[in-house]
């Protein structure tokens, strides 16, 4: 299950000290992200097979093209990606270098709910 602590209502933070990845998200951005996730889920239900551990293995490969190299990627994109990745048993995410991951470790937290390990191609910075 993806980590959605950043999308919680402000009252929840008074009860628990949740770790936030994007503390600068506004209420409007949180609302837009939640609405986007609610639209995304039915589409994924139609397009991605149901995970059945005893009957299938869902594998995906995703080339994210310079993931994290741009400041134009909105925080909500990480939540959408996490929702999609969570539908699969094994996901290969391409074009994330070791140095890129190290620089933006916090941003990757929503994607790590089922992460087993990271492998980088030889010679990646």
**pTM to 2 decimal places:** 0.74
- Asked whether residue 122 is domain-assigned, the answer is no
The count of structural domains within the chain is 1
- Asked whether residue 124 is domain-assigned, the answer is no
- Asked whether residue 118 is domain-assigned, the answer is no
Residue (of 26, 16, 35) closest to 79 by Cα position? 35
Residue (of 19, 33, 13) closest to 75 by Cα position? 33
Q: What is the pLDDT of residues 99-113, one digit of tens each?
A: 555 555 555 555 555
What is the structure's pLDDT at 72?
66
Q: What is the pLDDT of residues 41-76, one digit of tens each?
A: 999 999 999 887 788 888 888 877 655 555 666 888
Residue (of 64, 74, 66) closest to 24 by Cα position? 74
Residue (of 63, 65, 79, 69) closest to 101 by Cα position? 69
- Asked whether residue 28 is domain-assigned, the answer is yes
Using DSSP's 3-state secondary structure scheme, residue 90 falls into strand
Q: Which domain holds residue 89?
A: 5-111
């Amino acid at each position: 299950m993806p980590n959605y602590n950043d999308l919680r209502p402000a009252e929840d933070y008074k009860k628990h000290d949740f770790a936030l990845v994007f503390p600068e998200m506004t209420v409007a951005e949180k609302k837009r992200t939640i609405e986007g996730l609610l639209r995304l889920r039915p589409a994924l239900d139609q397009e991605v097979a149901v995970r059945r551990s005893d009957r299938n293995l869902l594998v995906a490969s995703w080339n994210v093209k310079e993931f994290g190299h741009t400041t134009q990627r909105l925080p909500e994109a990480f939540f959408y990606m996490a929702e999609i990745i969570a539908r699969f048993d094994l996901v290969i995410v391409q074009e994330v270098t070791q140095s890129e991951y190290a620089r933006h470790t916090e941003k990757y937290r929503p994607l790590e709910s089922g992460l087993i390990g990271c492998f980088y191609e030889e010679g990646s910075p």
